[in-house]
Amino acid sequence: MVAGFGDLTILHDVSLDVAVGKVTVLLGANGAGKTTLFRAITGLLPPRAGRIALFGEPIAGRAPHLIARAGIGHVPSGRELFPRMPVGVHLDLGARLCPPELRATLRERVLGLFPEIAERLNQYAGTLSGGEQQMVAIARALMTNPRVLLLDEPSAGLAPKVVLSVFQALAKLQDQGMSVLLAEQSMTFGLSVASRAYIIREGRIVLSGTPAELAAERSVVQAYLGA
């Protein structure tokens, strides 16, 4: 896939697979192209060339809301919540894409995953802490009943303890069989949950492998991540 803005090409021939029921991690430094890749997949920045398939169904070039409806759940960087709407309404808005008969069960499961926000359903999202906002963003995406969940740096700007609880929720999601593509800057956090990892640098995939393989080449990976 190739993507960019105007005359600027950000992603050069990027190719990756998200395994069904597994967490795939995309590791890269700031500005490596992680968010651009996510925006290309979700249709917010339609790719210049290439193919994006969701369980074999081509989705590149569709309008972004149709890609969401096709089953790509997106937790964007910066969370993109509705600051003056209650947490509960965020879940309702996500649930618009979920078949009505599944909504109640899904809501229960999502709130079970994030008990912290279950107590705050009537609170405006803008008044929550950063960690809680991240949980609301993930919960909103999960309520769409996605076939693949895209998580764009859920750890950004959060205290390590909060990051830990977000990643614990992620591990539980994987146990429930959710297919996840996770963008992350931290090798330690990223590899801790993933079954496969891709390293992106300057818009190109430069390395990929299982966490064990990449951990063996720790210094190379660290160099690519600019750490």
Partner 1 sequence: MIVLQLVVNGVLLGGTYILLAQGLNLVFGVMGIVNLAHGAIITLAGLFTYWFATQTHQSPLLLIPAVFIAMLAIGAVLQRLLLEPLAKLGGKGELLNLMVTFGLSYVIVETALNFFGSQYVSLPDLQTTWPVGGLAFNEALVAAGAFGALISGCLHIWLHYTASGQALLATSQNPTGAVTCGIDVRRMRGIAFALGTALAATAGVLLILILPLSAPTADTLTILSFVIVALGGLGDYRGAVMAALLLGLVQSAVGYYLGGDVEVVVPYLLLITFMVVRPQGLGQATR
Asked if residue 74 binds partner 1 (CB under 8 A), the reply is: yes
Looking at 10, 68, 142, 194, which residue binds partner 1 (CB under 8 A)? 68
Region from 79-87, 180-188, 195-203, 217-225 binding partner 1, contact rule CB under 8 A:
79-87
Nearer of residues 79 and 196 to partner 1, judged by Cβ: 79
Characterize 172-210 residue by residue with b for buried, 16 or more Cβ atoms within 10 angstroms of its Cβ, and e for exposed: ebbeeebbbbbbbbebebbbbbbebbbbbbebebebbee
Region from 78-86, 110-118, 185-193, 194-202 binding partner 1, contact rule CB under 8 A:
78-86
Binding mask 110-129 for partner 1 (x = CB under 8 A): ----------------x---
Nearer of residues 18 and 95 to partner 1, judged by Cβ: 95
Q: Which of 55, 74, 10, 19 is nearest to 211 (CA)?
A: 19
Asked if residue 147 binds partner 1 (CB under 8 A), the reply is: no
| Binding to partner 1 in span 81-110, by CB under 8 A | 81-85, 89, 92-94, 96-97
Question: How many chain residues touch partner 1 (CB under 8 A)?
Answer: 29
What are the strands, taking DSSP E only, across 61-124?
A: 72-75
Q: What is the DSSP letter of 86?
A: B
Looking at 42, 134, 185, 208, which residue binds partner 1 (CB under 8 A)? 42
Cα distances from 56 to residues 16, 29, 116, in angstroms, run 14, 30, 37
Region from 25-33, 105-113, 138-146, 216-224 binding partner 1, contact rule CB under 8 A:
138-146
Residues that bind partner 1 (CB under 8 A): 42, 44, 63-66, 68-69, 73-76, 79-85, 89, 92-94, 96-97, 126, 140-141, 144
